[in-house]
Amino acid sequence: MPAKGVAIVSARAELVVVGGGVVGLAIAWQAAQAGTNVTVVDPAAGEAASWVAAGMLAPASESWFGEEALLRLNLLAVDRFRAFAAALETATGADIGLRRDGTLAVSYDSGDRAALARSAALRRAYGLPVEELDRAQCRRLEPFLSADVQGGVLAAGDWSVDNRRYLAALRRAVTDAGAGQLTGRVARLEVVADRVAGVTLTDGHMVAAETVVLAAGAWSGSIDGVPEPVRRGVRPVKGQLLRLRLPQRMPPVLQRTVRATVRGFDVYLVPRTDGEVVVGATVEERGFDRTVTAAAVHDLLRDAMTLVPVLGELVLAEMCVGLRPGTADNGPIVGGTDVDGLIVATGHYRNGVLQSAATAEAVMAVLTGAPLPAEWAPFTGRTAVYPPAARWPIWSRWSPARSRASPSPSTARWCPAAPGPTPGSPTVTESKS
Ligand SMILES: Cc1cc2nc3c(=O)[nH]c(=O)nc-3n(C[C@H](O)[C@H](O)[C@H](O)COP(=O)(O)OP(=O)(O)OC[C@H]3O[C@@H](n4cnc5c(N)ncnc54)[C@H](O)[C@@H]3O)c2cc1C
C-alpha cells in the first residue's frame, strides 16, 4: 500500500526533474516552455534550502580568495537572473521582490576593518568596481547603522530577491507552462544498459522518462543509482537564519543588504520590500541535522544588533534551518554524466538562488546540444570522485564559534513551510526529520 499523502501515479514523461527547489523549477520552466513534456517530483515537505535562503544575488560580496572561476560564474549568473526574473514576472504577474540597491559591507572595529580592506583588495584584483566609503557616507546610505561603524565598501551590482516569492512564482510558472508537479520522494534512478529509464518513488511507483535531471540539492547524493562523483561530492551544510518583521507603523530600517564581520563573526542583513529583515547565517558541518540552536539565535541577534541597534525593536518572526548543497570547491556540479540521459544540476552551495537562472540555461544547452558559456567550463563534466564528506575539514571561514556550537537535543524548528506566519506571532512547526 502506498504511503499516505504520497500521490499514487505511474507515469511517463520526456523529462523528469528530481527536486522542486529553485534550481529544479527554473529548469522545468525553461524545458516546459520549449515544449518538453516535464514532470517535477518533490516530496513538498518544506525542506528546500530555496525556501530558507536569504536571497542575495551577490557575486562581489561572495567572492573569496582562490575562487575566481566561481566569481566569473556568479557574474554570469546575476546577468542571466536579470532577464529571467523579468520574464518570470511577466509570465506570472508576480512581484518577486528584486532589489537593486547594492550591498554595503561595513566594518565595526580595527580587525573588521582589516578584513574589509583585504576583501576590497581582492575585488579590485578581480577587476570589480569597489566604492570605499567613510563612516558618514555609510550612515547617509543607511541611517540606522550603529555610530560605531568605521567605514564600508559598496558593491552596487550585488542585488537580492525575495526567495520565497521567487519560489512561488516559479511553481506557478511551471504549472502554467503545462509541466506536472508530482508529490513524492525519489528513491532510485532506473538505469538500463547505462541509459536512464526513469525514477522510482519511495511508494514503489515508477515515472518512466527518457531524460532525468537530478536537482535534489543537499539530498542529491542520497538517491540510489546516482553516480559516485555526485553521491560523494555533495554534502549538506547547515545554515541557521532569522526573519525579523516590522511592528505596525514602524518604517523600514534598511534600504539595501548590509554585511559585516563583527568581532570575527560574519553576519548579513537582507531587507525585503515589506520591511522584513533576514539575518543570516551560520555555516555548520552537521550532516542532515536541522535543529535550531540557542547559540545560533543568540550570536546572530547579537551581531545584527551590534550593526543596527534598532533591529531589537523588530518582531522575531522565524528561526529557520536550511541545508546548502555543498561541494569540495564551493562550485556547482552541472551537466551530463556517464549515464546516458542523466543530467545533474546540484551542489550550488551558498549561491543556488543566484545561479538558478544560469543553471537552467546551462541545462537547456546540454539538452539541446548547444554550447555552454565559457564560465561553466570548470563546473561541467565533473567526473572526479571527491573526498568523502567525513574527511572534509570543518569549514570555518565565516564563523568558527558557530561551527562549534552543540546541536540542541530539541527537534523544534521555527520555520513555516508555507505560507509565512502572521506578523507578530512566531509560528512553530514540529520537525518531521
Ligand atoms: C541559510 C541559507 C542562506 C542562503 N542564502 C543564499 C543567498 O543569499 N543567495 C543564494 O544564492 N543562495 C543562498 N543559499 C543557498 C541556496 O539556498 C541553495 O544553494 C539553493 O536553494 C539550492 O537550490 P536547489 O533547488 O538545488 O536545492 P533545494 O532548494 O534544497 O531544493 C531541493 C529539493 O529537492 C527535494 N528533494 C530532496 N530529496 C528528494 C528526493 N529523494 N526526491 C525528490 N525530491 C527530493 C527537496 O524536497 C527540495 O525541495 C542559502 C542557503 C541557506 C541554507
For the stretch 191-212, pLDDT in tens is 999 999 999 999 999 999 999 9
Smallest CA separation from ligand 1 atom 27, residue: 217
Between the CA of 6 and the centroid of ligand 1 the distance, in Å, is 21
Q: What is the largest CA-CA distance in the chain?
A: 67
**Half-sphere exposure of residue 297, counting CA atoms within 13 Å on the CB side?**
17
For the chain, list the domains and their CATH numbers: 11-52+165-234+328-391 (3.50.50.60), 103-156+236-326+399-430 (3.30.9.10)
Instruction: Kindly give the number of the ligand 1 atom that is closest to the alpha carbon of 45.
Output: 47
Mean pLDDT on 18-31: 98
Q: Has residue 390 got a pLDDT over 90?
A: no
Smallest CA separation from ligand 1 atom 48, residue: 48
pLDDT in tens, 243-275: 999 999 999 999 999 999 887 788 999 999 999
Contact 20, 44 (CB under 8 A): yes
d(CA 16, CA 384): 25
pLDDT number for residue 403: 35
DSSP-assigned beta bridge partners for residue 93: none
Contact 176, 87 (CB under 8 A): no
Q: Has residue 317 got a pLDDT over 80?
A: yes
pLDDT band at residue 384 using 50, 70 and 90 as cut-offs: low
Smallest CA separation from ligand 1 atom 31, residue: 21
Confidence (pTM): 0.90
Q: Averaging pLDDT over each range in 216-225, 264-273, 411-420, 423-432, which range is the top one?
A: 216-225
Between the CA of 27 and the centroid of ligand 1 the distance, in Å, is 14
DSSP E strands, 60-179: 103-107, 131-134, 151-155, 159-160
Cβ-based neighbours of 317, under 8 Å, separated by 6 or more: 243, 244, 245, 276, 420, 421, 423, 424, 426, 427
pLDDT number for residue 110: 78
Between the CA of 324 and the centroid of ligand 1 the distance, in Å, is 6
Query: Helix 22-33 and helix 163-176: axis angle, to 10°?
Result: 30
DSSP 165-207: HHHHHHHHHHHHTT-EEEE--EEEEEEETTEEEEEEETTS-EE
Name the one residue in this structure whose C-alpha cell is 546575476: 78
Q: Among residues of the chain, what percentage have pLDDT more than 70?
A: 86
Helix (H) or strand (E) holding 323: strand 315-326
Query: Helix 163-176 and helix 68-92: axis angle, to 10°?
Result: 60
Q: Has residue 301 got a pLDDT over 70?
A: yes
Instruction: Kindly give the number of the ligand 1 atom that is closest to the alpha carbon of 47.
Output: 47
Does residue 20 line the site of ligand 1, with CB under 6 A? Answer: yes
The larger pLDDT score, comparing residue 3 to residue 229, is at: 229
Between the CA of 173 and the centroid of ligand 1 the distance, in Å, is 19
Q: Has residue 421 got a pLDDT over 60?
A: no
Q: Has residue 108 got a pLDDT over 90?
A: no
Q: Which of 202, 190, 238, 226 is nearest to 403 (CA)?
A: 238
Between the CA of 322 and the centroid of ligand 1 the distance, in Å, is 7
Q: Which three cell numbers stand for residue 63?
A: 567572492
pLDDT band at residue 428 using 50, 70 and 90 as cut-offs: very low
Q: Among residues of the chain, what percentage have pLDDT more than 90?
A: 74
pLDDT band at residue 66 using 50, 70 and 90 as cut-offs: confident
